[in-house]
Amino acid sequence: MALCWLLCGSCSRFTEHPGLPVDAANRHLALAAVERFRDEFNRGDCQAIYEEATGEFQKLETNPDWLGQCEMLHATMGMWQSFTPRQTDTWQTFLAHVDGEAKFTSGVCRLKTTWSLEPGRARLFSLYLESPTTQKRIPR
């Protein structure tokens, strides 16, 4: 379970704050993006995750750094079996947060993701993984 937290880097974006409700369409986009992220992670397709992320994510997390972290997470955490969303909200009109519980082969982690909402899709802006012993934020 401690290995569950290698995935995130640094992000003050994940301070606890009351967010605004996400409308149904944007909630659907964000939750679908989490599922797409899970599928790509399970396939070991770290490059696709990076290429689909926002430019801000890519500026703060280089491709080699992301690939190394993602591959290490995949190796240490195992398959990402399920995700149970606990809360979705928006911080700004163009960002959606999805906070929930991710179950991996190695254990259960809290996973908080932020998605940039664009017409018809959501792109990864940042993520945060937390277990009782570890915290990981990406990008750093």
| Any domain includes 9 | no
**Residue 20 reports pLDDT greater than 70:** no
Structure confidence by residue, pLDDT tens digits, 79-126:
999 999 999 887 667 899 999 999 999 999 999 999 999 888 999 999
| Any domain includes 2 | no
| Any domain includes 5 | no
- pLDDT for the residue 63: 97
Quote the CA–CA distance of 4 and 108 in Å, as a whole number.
7
Give the pair of three-digit tokens for residue 19.
């967010």
Give the pair of three-digit tokens for residue 100.
């929930």
| Any domain includes 71 | yes
- pLDDT for the residue 132: 75
Q: What share of the chain is helix, strand, coil (3-state, %, to 5)?
A: 40, 35, 25
- pLDDT for the residue 97: 92
| Any domain includes 4 | no
- pLDDT for the residue 113: 96
The SS3 call for residue 103 is strand
CATH code for the domain of 46 = 3.10.450
Give me the domain span that covers residue 57.
19-106+115-138
When the pLDDT of each residue in the chain is averaged and rounded to a whole number, the result is: 84
Query: How many structural domains compose the chain?
Result: 1
Number of Cα atoms under 13 Å in the Cβ half of residue 120: 0
- What's the pLDDT band for 62 if we cut at 50, 70, 90? very high
Give the pair of three-digit tokens for residue 118.
């664009």
Quote the CA–CA distance of 30 and 131 in Å, as a whole number.
23
Q: What percent of the chain has pLDDT over 70?
A: 82
**Mean predicted confidence (pLDDT) in 26-40:** 94
**Mean predicted confidence (pLDDT) in 50-73:** 96
Give the pair of three-digit tokens for residue 73.
């997470």
Structure confidence by residue, pLDDT tens digits, 126-137:
999 998 777 889
